[in-house]
Amino acid sequence: MKTPIAFQLLRILSPAELNQLELFLSSPAFNRRPEMARLLAWWRENRHETLDKEKVFRQVEPGKTYLSRDWYLLLSRFAKLVEGFIVWQELQEDGLDKYPFLLRSLRRRRKARLFRRSMAQARALLDNHGQHTAHLLYQAYDLEQEYYDYIASHNRQAPTNLQAMNDRLDEFFIAEKLKQACLAHSRRIASQEAYDIHFLEAVEQQLQSRPALLAVPAIQVYHACYRAVVRGGDKRAFQNLRQAMAAHRQGFPKQEIRDLYLLAINYCIRALNRGAEGFALEAFTLYEQSLEQGYLMEDGHIPESTFGNIVSLGLKLQRFDWVEQFIRERARFLRPEFQESLPSYAAAKLAYEQGRLTAALQLLATVDARQPFLYFGAKTLQLKAFYELGEWDALDSLLESLRVYLQRHPDLGYHREHYLLLAQFARRLLQLAPTDREGKTALRKEVEAAITFREREWFLRQLE
């Protein structure tokens, strides 16, 4: 039986919020139907039991005969009340959100003195908000719009704030467009999703002709991100992004600044893949800052890809003690299904980089590699260890299993091309005779030409 919408809404509320909802339902200002409070009390007491509609109805509506239509009407009314409570709660969280509604009401009631007083309060709250989000720019526009309607409704001959209203709208539009361009780029990297974000050329032209707009923190930060990350700017563009983030990061919600940090890190990773080794330290520093500030958590967990990237960068920089401590202290923040396999894989990578090849293979034997990224990571590490230990039969068997896996999984996106190259280059490396200089030279040229091949350095070392 499908859970009613009303009860689905209750499940998203915390115990403290449920207590507040109880007070909300007991207030005649919000609710005058006592059965609503009884329904909430029933749900809190029996939420884990199988739902018996007639039994619940009789308990909530004592003395009434159960009818299906009355049951669904009860649930519908209750759901609307819970939705109203959630909206009311959100309005309490951000004091600015209530002002457009208040100002609109005062204007319609023609209470000029109260309107001006509330407008002054709203503008003071806006000036002292301390936030730099595009949403706040929209709130500023919304207030100016209410003020324009107030002036126009009182005296159509009086000068208006139309210019200020238009300026606030421009600021919101430009900041939001740049933000959406950055988010679209992030989604394209993570999930291969493609989006068309329009008017970006017009936005760039406006910023060139009106450079004062770059003084708006949201525009400054997202323009720097757009120029560096989305447009693939040079090192100077990246430094502009770092400076903008450092100057204004306290003014953004954690989710937004987290996205900005991940985009900046992605810039570093791409630069690393192109051979710009200096960006390893930049990316590592960004990850360290993100960890300290708590920006990397998603629903209380560190994403698996983030955990793996931090380990890889730490090992690249030979921060072995730091990596060991990170694995030990942060493994508990992974999602439960990865709290054993991913730390074991990370510890195997650490052992390999420290030259403890046998220990690395022993740790890899404990990795439950059902996820593709763990499977390929473990196979890559085993491939290196087997080759360096001279375990040719084991390496031959591994390459065959890798070939079969790739054949059975054609839907791996751009990762498939990398691992096809890995298998191909490894097979040729395995078949090369020690004295085959021409074969080594040919393979070296192909590996060097594969710029985005992530194991290029290892192969070139073996060919030396």
Per-residue confidence band for 1, with pLDDT thresholds at 50, 70 and 90:
low
Task: Supply the pLDDT for residue 193.
Answer: 81
Per-residue confidence band for 42, with pLDDT thresholds at 50, 70 and 90:
very high
Residue 163 has pLDDT above 90, yes or no: yes
Mean pLDDT, the chain, integer: 91
Residue partners of 151: CB distance under 8 A and separation at least 6: 158, 160, 161
Question: What 3-state DSSP class applies to 121?
Answer: helix
Residue 194 has pLDDT above 90, yes or no: no
Cα–Cα distance measured from residue 329 to residue 309, given in angstroms and rounded to the nearest whole number: 16
Tokens of 71: 């049951």
For tokens 């390496």, name the residue: 395
Q: What are phi and psi of 232, to 5 degrees?
A: 65, 50
Task: Calculate the CA 148 to chain-centre distance.
Answer: 37
Give, as one character, the DSSP assignment of residue 434: T
Per-residue confidence band for 181, with pLDDT thresholds at 50, 70 and 90:
very high
Cα–Cα distance measured from residue 57 to residue 35, given in angstroms and rounded to the nearest whole number: 10
For tokens 């060919």, name the residue: 463
The residue-averaged pLDDT of 148-156 equals: 82
Q: Give the dihedral of Cα atoms 355, 356, 362, 366; nearest 10 deg.
A: -60
The residue-averaged pLDDT of 15-40 equals: 94
Question: Residues 45-61: pLDDT tens digits?
Answer: 998 888 899 999 999 99
Here the contacts of 326-334 (C-beta below 8 Å, separation 24 or greater) are: 330/291, 330/302, 333/297, 333/300, 333/301, 333/302, 334/301, 334/302, 334/304, 334/307
The larger pLDDT score, comparing residue 119 to residue 433, is at 119
Alpha-carbon distance values, 99 to 95, 103, 109, 144 (Å): 7, 6, 15, 11
